[in-house]
Structure 1
Amino acid sequence: MKNIAISRRAFNSVALLAAAGLGAPSVWSQGKLEKTKVSIAVGGKAAFYYLPLTISEQLGYFKAEGLDVEISDFAGGSRALQALVGGSADVVSGAYEHTINMQSKNQYIESFVLMGRAPQIAMGVSTKAMPGYRDVADLRGKKIGVSAPGSSTNMVANLVLSRAGLKPSDVSFVGVGTAAGALTALRSGQIDAMSNTDPVMTMLEQKGEVKIISDTRTLKGTQEVFGGPMPAACFYAHAEFVQKNPNTCQALANAIVHGLKWLQTAGPSDIIKTVPESYLLGDRALYLASFNKVREAISLDGILPEEGTRTALKALASFDPSVKADKIVLSKTYTNDFARRAKERFKA
């Protein structure tokens, strides 16, 4: 009887473990997470630029991977990067080009899953402040709103200015965030032009408040501005963190790719039901119009194209003298190992 009791107890334990494995397949199959509590910094979470992060959070995909994520929202990507450098964040949901910028400063950070395959940033001039606008040269001496100085919205503005022969010092950049504050800054005349993400830019455009002069919200527009594919939002961390926490990074990549897979078939009503009400900025119809405009810019599978890394380096080196193209080792700015495994698992 004793042996039967032991074997029954053993059987029950195995059955419970098997059930747990079914409930959390990623944790079960990829080994123990080195870190279950992960702090993530993001700059402007309400923007469509970071929609995959919000979807994965709201639908519980991080929890399904055994992760307890704490997301801190900052005014712009450069602030989120500062949180990583300062040690208050483990991972950043931010622009891929920051990995290149940081390597030029001898700091190695690595992207490990892609969320956006186009920057989704548009630049426009205020029709009220600059009714007679003719070309980019007219921006000399003007105030340009960006999410935060040093962020990717600033980078796109710098690129547009440089092609017209203007330097960043020829204008004044003003940090306005990526939500209601950005709308207020333009409407109240605090800025003359703005480089920002959606839904903000579509809302201003549809009401005739800005004239768009550069647009990377579509793959075609991105090709025209950058001359190639330009990777955008991704998860990045110190290379050392990625190396020491492979199972944790895999779980993070899994959650994002799961969200990307969901987004491939999600309808407008699904998006409205999933994102926080405050993200709609008081106008559901315009929010959905914005989503339709940027939908193709969202990554399908989390994999960063090698050609895109070259596009990003060329763009940065064209206006930032501190980025020396011949000194940057692009293979150290990203890895697709985690995204490939996640893609295979979710058939993304």
Structure 2
Amino acid sequence: MTKLDMRRRSVLAAAPALLVGTVAAPHVARAQGKPEKSKVVLAVGGKSALYYLSLTIAEKKGFFKDAGLDVEINDFQGGAKSLEALMGGSADVVAGAYEHTIRMQQRGQAIKGFALIGRGMQLAIGMRTDVADKVKGPADIKGMKFGVSAPGSQTHMLVANWAAKGGLKATDFSVIGVGAGASVVAAIENKSVDGISQADPALTILQEKGEVKIVVDTRTMKGNKELFGGAMPAACLYCQPGFLTKTPNTAQALATAIVRADEWLQTAKPSEVADTVPPAYLLGDKAIYEKAFANVRETISPDGIMPPEGPANCLKFLAEGDPKIAAVKDKIKLEDTWTNEFAQRAKKHA
């Protein structure tokens, strides 16, 4: 037997063991190769919200590290600010609302999403209980002030969409940025706003305290179906298209980590989630945080893949609340705003 034959036989003999190792640790090795950029700067707006939970899980459980990445996460007040970081060149990628990909196309600038975190919006509008009786519908919020994560963010767009259903214009109400987490609770308690458009756990905490009455709720898939007709893409990873074409292995590593986090959250116990996130994210009440997570779990993407109806539902939502989007609705190329390529590859290897 030649040395070549002996080598072939040894490789074949080792194959079952290699396959077992791949099944046992599916996310460690990837056929895509080593990331072109081992250090990635990621921008996010309001990381402590459950809206971005998959990002925190990928970070805290070492999924980014397993994929060969050192991810620096810069947390801004809201999604509009993290988008600015991307367009200004200080961030490589953003964890933010998918809707920004459509908005930027309307402005003539291309960005593209590639790994989904939320398949439901996960936001809600709550009115302060002492003013809630005055609000029978969206037309009644004229002249009121709302706390959003940051002006221009999806929390802002949800209020604009609701107001439009009542015949109001964007100038008929006002918004102020209150960030996420404890600052949201404070904005209601000190009565600096009449209502809030926010994500959990802040909303559930305010509900439990009797501080707000929920008037619009997208924290369940049922709520998303009623409001949008089905899945409504929320948080995702997005970037400028060049990042995907020039550093595809890096993009794949990011998608793999997020998909892994999405999958972990489908079966994790609420207590496991609460024990994984930074203690400050619990806002002083672990039990309420666990309850809030259990309530929104179904809106977390199970696989990072964009549902077929998602982009069209988002475009319709934006057009209803923004005349600028409505004017160019038929010209928006949704296929340019998203690719499932990276999430599908991550899922295939899972």
Same fold (TM over 0.5): yes
Q: In the alignment, what sits opposite 2:230?
A: 228
2:221, 2:230 within 8 Å by CA — same for their partners in 1? no
**Equivalent pair of 1:27/1:66 in contact (CA under 8 Å):** no
Match of 2:57 in 1: 55
1:300 aligned partner, one-letter code = P
Listed as ranges, the matches of 1:1-348 within 5 Å are 29-323=31-325, 324-346=328-350
- Give the fraction of aligned pairs with identical amino acids, expressed as a percent: 53
For residues 82-116 of structure 1, the C-alpha deviation after alignment (integer angstroms, 9 at most, x for no partner) is: 11011110000000000000000111100001010
- Matching residue's letter, 1:215: D
Distance 2:270 2:207 in 1: 20
SS of 1:34's partner is coil
Question: In the aligned structure 1, how far is the partner of 2:239 from the partner of 2:195?
Answer: 32
CA distance in 2 between partners of 1:24 and 1:308 (Å): 28
Tell me which residue corresponds to 2:6.
Answer: none
Deviation at 1:223, TM superposition (A): 1.3
> 8 Å contact 1:145–1:193 — kept in the other structure?
yes
CA distance in 1, matches of 2:186, 2:84: 26
Mapped contact 1:118–1:297 kept (Cα < 8 A): yes
1:186 is matched by which residue type in structure 2? I
Question: How far apart are the structure 1 equivalents of 2:252 and 2:72?
Answer: 17
Counterpart AA for 2:155: T
Q: Indicate conservation of the 8 Å contact 1:253/1:339, yes or no.
A: yes
Secondary structure of 2:159's counterpart equals helix
Partner letter of residue 341 of structure 1? R
Q: CA RMSD in A?
A: 1.8
Shift of 1:306: 2.4
Q: Alpha-carbon deviation of 1:133?
A: 3.0
The alpha carbon displacement at 1:268 in A equals: 1.5
Tell me how far 1:27 sits from its aligned partner. Answer: 5.1
Corresponding letter in the other structure for 2:184 = A
What is the CA–CA distance in structure 1 between the aligned matches of 2:266 and 2:181, rounded to whole Å? 25
Given that 1:199 and 1:287 are in contact with CA atoms closer than 8 Å, whether structure 2 keeps it comes out as yes
Taking structure 2 as the reference length, what is the TM-score of the superposition? 0.91
Is the CA contact 2:26–2:349 (under 8 Å) kept in the aligned structure 1? no
Single out whichever of 60-69 and 260-269 deviates more from structure 2.
260-269
Structure 2 stretches lacking a partner, 5+ long: 1-17
Structure 2 SS opposite 1:190: coil
Contact 2:27 2:349 survives alignment (8 Å): no
The number of residues matched between the two structures is 329
Q: 1:118 to 1:157 in 2, by over 3 A?
A: same
Deviation of the 1:327 alpha carbon: 1.2
SS at match of 1:257: helix
**2:5 alignment counterpart:** none
